[in-house]
Chain A
Amino acid sequence: MKLPALNTAIKDLSEVDRREFFKAGGAVATVALTSGVTLMAFGGEASAKADAGKRWGLLIDVNKCKSDCNACVTACSDENGWEDTGNPETDAQWIRKVDLTHKQTGREVSLPMMCQHCEDAPCIDVCPTGASFKRADGIVLVDKHACIGCRYCMMACPFKARSFVHEPIENQKTHAPRGNGTVESCTLCVHRVDKGGQPACVEACGKTGNGAMMFGDLNDPASEIAVALKQYSSIGLRDDLRLNPGVRYNNL
């Protein structure tokens, strides 16, 4: 199947405005933590580096994903600084392992779930302030300075991909700003992607030898992920909603 090119989204006037604004305002879109330490809010440098010609995405082969493996989750937690504090109902989970048993056939599979980086993301539609936004390269982020903590995006997300920060946070990573009272989710490790790297979860999955996760540019027909998508059948979760997620699963 053919994924529509996302670079058409650049025609969206509001997005152009936002990008231009952040380019201009990048210098002020930082917040001082302590002397010498500043947090980049998503939207500033992160937005300016987005390449409108690309659409970053993931392909997850559920046949290769092992039920007892949690490497992607651990890697994301280490990379981005969210953790298990012993309060499972309120702890943030940017990525989680989901175990599935088919109701009719009994087939058991396991897969990682995270923000699906939808092209038509409901979280962006419902966000009153525009804090939920999509970069030109398809990565869906939360501008931590504009989020008022209304949680409407959490109500709207079909994938339960977002978490609300329920308590004050200490020792956060400078590349992954977080804040009490705001909403957060998988950033597709935008700080790594902008430096030519790949998300921590994908890297960790590769190191286990399972190789269930593939990252790449969906718009580049020569990329490994685009070739694989063309060759094998895959689905986006809740395809009935026609959100065109950037994360796709095969063998599900």
Chain B
Amino acid sequence: MERTVYREMALTPMVWVLAIILGGIIGAAGLAVLYVEHNGHIVTGMNNQIVWGLPHVFAIFLIVAASGALNVASIASVFGKTAYKPMARLSALLAMALLAGGLGVLVLDLGRPDRLIVAMTTYNFKSIFAWNVILYNGFFVVVGAYLFVQMSRGMSAKTIRAMGTAAFIWRLALTTGTGSIFGWLVARPGYDAAIMAPLFIIMSFSFGLAFFLLVLTSMYRLTKRNLDPMLIKRMGNLLGVFAGAVLYFTAVRHLTNLYAAEHGDVERFLLFGGGGITTLFWVGQVLIGGVIPIALLFRPTDGPNVGSVLLASVLIILGGLVQLYVIIIGGQMFPLEIFPAYEVTSSFYDGAVNSYTPSALELILGMGGVALTLIIAGLGVVALRILPENLSDS
């Protein structure tokens, strides 16, 4: 096999245009944050019922996708698939960029983002949130070191494999931690399920690979370098398996809940009676984010159909955002069951299904996280030797 040559991405006018657009989105997100911080969260759609909103959907999507984007590198370094090896650098870079984008959104939605230093220096070790702060920071260190050893001259394959394995284990821990943010909420009938951790891991595999495929192909089209369609087809097959697994874990989660009488109400609300949230689940998450992309990825074709894989990736990302919306918002829309035997009313929306209309500010902040991810990844490939000159004969 030929030796892989990595080269920086040239700063073409098109790259500049994209950078300016992304910079504009980030600037708008910054203004949105300042506006919310000045006026308080009352200007958002979030309230005392829906305490986590659209920013959390974007943030958790990006964080989950971050660990999934590392898949390609893991397949190369840990599982020894040489075809994936030339893409391992981009995989590690994109993983860090996604995490930075997600954390940016999460942190800037805090009520007191100026106190981030408190979160970084004061830990309650019984809190999975505090553990996540460590897991997220550690991810940058471990994946950064992994990228460094990949790019260093004369580094032995053994060292790269060891770092790749460490990063792989870390990313599993990270997504376990993210899923457990919800899985360990014992009081909320919409959460409180051990399956949340493995569900989030498999979601990360799917969302992360879809994001990686779109970024990889975009960068290769921008740089006019060769990208083997068979490679895309191969990753598309893997994506199809992951998307199927997300549907499987989702089904198991809901079937388990449906079996228990105590969870019957929340399941009926989400799956059958919740109005918009039910439509989002069946149409957005299951159909657009699951069934259609799986069909696209596995439909018999004469040769590799890159267009189908890319369309499926877009649908999986949209469906993934919807899935997190259904989990995060849907779980809060359903009222807490403090008095199971009673009909409940109060001035504080006890017993009521809560409504949520996200504001444009929240959407702009979320999009800012995506733009931040892309600009970091873009800067990385412009400044560093991340992208192989040729991915046509690997």
Interface residues of A (CB under 8 A from B): 14, 87-93, 96-104, 113, 122, 124-131, 146-152, 154-160, 163-168, 179-183, 237-238, 241
Partner of B348, one of A96, A122, A155, A241: A96
The interface bits of chain B over 29-56 (1 if a CB of A lies within 8 angstroms of the residue's CB, else 0) are 0000000010111100001110110000
Question: Are B185 and A156 neighbours in the complex by a CB distance under 8 Å?
Answer: yes
Question: Are B41 and A90 neighbours in the complex by a CB distance under 8 Å?
Answer: yes
B332 proximity list for chain A (CB < 8 A) = 155
Question: Are A126 and B127 neighbours in the complex by a CB distance under 8 Å?
Answer: yes
Question: Are A89 and B123 neighbours in the complex by a CB distance under 8 Å?
Answer: no
A14 proximity list for chain B (CB < 8 A) = 124
A94 to chain B: closest CB distance in Å?
10
B41 proximity list for chain A (CB < 8 A) = 90, 164, 166, 181
A182 proximity list for chain B (CB < 8 A) = 111-112
Majority SS at the chain B contact face: loop
Question: Are B40 and A165 neighbours in the complex by a CB distance under 8 Å?
Answer: yes
In the bound complex, CA of A247 to CA of B47 (Å): 26
> B122 at interface (Cβ–Cβ under 8 A)?
yes
With A180-B111, A181-B110: A98-B346 Cβ-Cβ less than 8 Å? yes
Question: Are B111 and A122 neighbours in the complex by a CB distance under 8 Å?
Answer: no
B1 proximity list for chain A (CB < 8 A) = none
Beta-carbon nearest neighbor of A169 in chain B: B40
> B21 at interface (Cβ–Cβ under 8 A)?
no
B237 to chain A: closest CB distance in Å?
38
In the bound complex, CA of A182 to CA of B128 (Å): 20
Partner of A238, one of B48, B124, B338, B348: B338
15 A-B pairs besides A155-B51, A155-B188, A166-B41 with CB distance below 8 A are A96-B348, A96-B350, A97-B347, A122-B185, A126-B127, A126-B184, A129-B122, A148-B116, A150-B129, A155-B185, A156-B187, A160-B348, A167-B39, A181-B41, A241-B187
> B16 at interface (Cβ–Cβ under 8 A)?
no
B119-145 at interface with A (beta carbon < 8 Å): 119, 122-124, 126-130, 133
A99 proximity list for chain B (CB < 8 A) = 344-346
A171 to chain B: closest CB distance in Å?
16
B260 proximity list for chain A (CB < 8 A) = none
Partner of B111, one of A92, A147, A237: A147
With A128-B119, A130-B124: A181-B111 Cβ-Cβ less than 8 Å? yes
> B118 at interface (Cβ–Cβ under 8 A)?
yes
Q: List 11 A-B contacts (CB under 8 A).
A: A96-B348, A97-B346, A102-B341, A103-B341, A103-B343, A126-B128, A130-B124, A155-B332, A160-B348, A166-B42, A237-B339
In the bound complex, CA of A96 to CA of B344 (Å): 12
Scoring A89, A90, A113, A147 by chain B CB atoms within 10 A of each residue's CB, the highest score goes to A89
Question: Are A126 and B129 neighbours in the complex by a CB distance under 8 Å?
Answer: yes
> B115 at interface (Cβ–Cβ under 8 A)?
yes
Partner of A113, one of B111, B126, B350: B350
A237 to chain B: closest CB distance in Å?
6
Question: Are A96 and B347 neighbours in the complex by a CB distance under 8 Å?
Answer: yes
A103 to chain B: closest CB distance in Å?
6
> B14 at interface (Cβ–Cβ under 8 A)?
no
Question: Are A147 and B112 neighbours in the complex by a CB distance under 8 Å?
Answer: yes
In the bound complex, CA of A183 to CA of B37 (Å): 15
A149 proximity list for chain B (CB < 8 A) = 110-112, 115
A131 to chain B: closest CB distance in Å?
8
B182-235 at interface with A (beta carbon < 8 Å): 184-188
Interface residues of B (CB under 8 A from A): 37, 39-42, 47-49, 51-52, 110-113, 115-116, 118-119, 122-124, 126-130, 133, 181, 184-188, 332, 336, 338-339, 341-350
Partner of B127, one of A92, A128, A166: A128
Beta-carbon nearest neighbor of A168 in chain B: B40
Question: Are A101 and B185 neighbours in the complex by a CB distance under 8 Å?
Answer: no
Question: Are A157 and B124 neighbours in the complex by a CB distance under 8 Å?
Answer: no
A109 to chain B: closest CB distance in Å?
8
5 shortest A-B CB distances, which residue pairs?
Answer: A149-B111, A181-B111, A158-B187, A167-B40, A128-B129
B347 proximity list for chain A (CB < 8 A) = 88, 93, 96-97
B119 to chain A: closest CB distance in Å?
5
B110 proximity list for chain A (CB < 8 A) = 148-150, 181
B260 to chain A: closest CB distance in Å?
13
Question: Are A154 and B127 neighbours in the complex by a CB distance under 8 Å?
Answer: no
In the bound complex, CA of A183 to CA of B115 (Å): 14
B342 proximity list for chain A (CB < 8 A) = 100-103
A154 proximity list for chain B (CB < 8 A) = 48, 51
A96 proximity list for chain B (CB < 8 A) = 346-348, 350
B188 proximity list for chain A (CB < 8 A) = 155
Question: Are B338 and A129 neighbours in the complex by a CB distance under 8 Å?
Answer: no
A216 to chain B: closest CB distance in Å?
24
In the bound complex, CA of A181 to CA of B114 (Å): 11
In the bound complex, CA of A147 to CA of B364 (Å): 25
With A146-B122, A148-B116, A167-B39: A90-B111 Cβ-Cβ less than 8 Å? no
In the bound complex, CA of A113 to CA of B345 (Å): 12
In the bound complex, CA of A241 to CA of B47 (Å): 26
Question: Are B42 and A90 neighbours in the complex by a CB distance under 8 Å?
Answer: yes
Question: Are A100 and B112 neighbours in the complex by a CB distance under 8 Å?
Answer: no
A248 to chain B: closest CB distance in Å?
14
